[in-house]
Amino acid sequence: MSNEFNGPYASLEQNALSLKLVAISIRELLFIKSLPCAVYGIKDGLFKLLLDTGNSVDNNTVRDLLKEGQHYLFVYRSERQTLIEHQQTNLRNVTRSLSVGNPVEKAVKQMNLLTINLGYLYSDPTNDQLLELQFQSAKNLASFLIDKCEIHEQIFQEYLKQKHHFILGQPLLSSIFLMGILKNASLYNNSEVINLFLTSYFKDIGMSAIPTEKYDQVELNDEEKVLLANHARHSVEILQGRVPLGPSYLKIIENHHSFSLLTQNLELSLSTNNKVLAGFETMLVTVMDVISAMISGRPYRKASSLYESLDLIKLLIADQYPQEFKLIVNYFRNFFFQGRKGDIF
């Protein structure tokens, strides 16, 4: 008898849930002491309440969910904003207190929160409040890390452990690498390095034209391919007039995939000639992007090691630009020597 009544009732309830729930990333549960909303998962093909409002969440909670195969989590659409606001507050708080406590722990926390919040920005790129928080927080992180190149390798290893979606994680990795190389080059003052960090970090915001999860497909459809091909220009359109980056930085963003143009125009890039330096910066942004892409895994291919990615860069630029290649290798040398033989080697 109970089956007769429970069956149809359960399916009605499930139908209602499928209309009311929206997907979230499991990483959004990081740094939450008390859940602002209920979290659902899927068990035996049905939605199921996993964590209730007010439940405490720690690393073990997340680990247990993953162990149980709960990779797809949901919250009520009406409560989605509470989780976003919670993570925005977390980001603001850690941004304000970066210099207090253990620098590695603080930097890694800030990096993870930036990436979680970058996901919100990619879902809503015209939202001024999201962009402003992201810009300010990324700028504070850059100022914090600029004189701490010695911890880059360690924070890199720690950050990789969270396995953020590559679309969201790659910009931060490539920007930190860029910062280290620019500092090693000793050609720039700190404010230029910070602006170039931000340029690199926001260069791919135009990729938000395609929903993040679509990038998990091996092949995008034709319309998505066109959107992807135009993402550099789209990034400039999104950023222009909304962030304090000057025209020369926006130019770098616009050209960050014009590798052939770079290889034609670059001659002894380390000269002090401004025109040439602009090419050098764009090339570095592009090269760091290639390295970060290679070392981040995709659902359809494994991550390459840092060594393999440097091998490709060697093929691309070492003959024509030996000095620049040396700069890159010198920076990553620390990663090889200090590395604790993690995933990348």
30 vs 198, which CB is nearer to Fe ion? 198
146 vs 220, which CB is nearer to Fe ion? 220
Q: How far is the CB of 236 from Fe ion (least distance, A)?
A: 12
33 vs 233, which CB is nearer to Fe ion? 233
Q: How far is the CB of 256 from Fe ion (least distance, A)?
A: 5
Cα distance from N-terminal residue to C-terminal residue, the chain: 61
Q: How far is the CB of 282 from Fe ion (least distance, A)?
A: 12
Which region among 90-98, 99-107, 154-162, 197-205 touches Fe ion (by CB under 5 A)?
197-205
DSSP result, 112-181? HHHHHHHHHHHHSTT-HHHHHHHHHHHHHHHHHHTT-GGGHHHHHHHHHTT---HHHHHHHHHHHHHHHH
* Site size for Fe ion (CB under 5 A): 1
Q: How far is the CB of 286 from Fe ion (least distance, A)?
A: 8
254 lies in the site for Fe ion, by CB under 5 A: no
| Closest to 177 measured CA to CA, from 292, 269, 259 | 292
Classify residue 63 as exposed, middle or buried by CB count within 10 Å of its CB (0-12, 13-18, 19+): exposed
Which region among 157-165, 198-206, 211-219, 302-310 touches Fe ion (by CB under 5 A)?
198-206
> Which of 28, 153, 158, 204 is close enough to bind Fe ion by CB under 5 A?
204
Which region among 43-51, 114-122, 138-146, 200-208 touches Fe ion (by CB under 5 A)?
200-208
- Residues 110-149 interacting with Fe ion (rule: CB under 5 A): none
Which region among 199-207, 216-224, 316-324, 327-335 touches Fe ion (by CB under 5 A)?
199-207
204 vs 281, which CB is nearer to Fe ion? 204
How far apart, in whole angstroms, are the C-alpha atoms of residue 103 and residue 100? 8
| Closest to 108 measured CA to CA, from 161, 179, 171 | 161
25 vs 235, which CB is nearer to Fe ion? 235
| Contact footprint for Fe ion (CB under 5 A) | 204
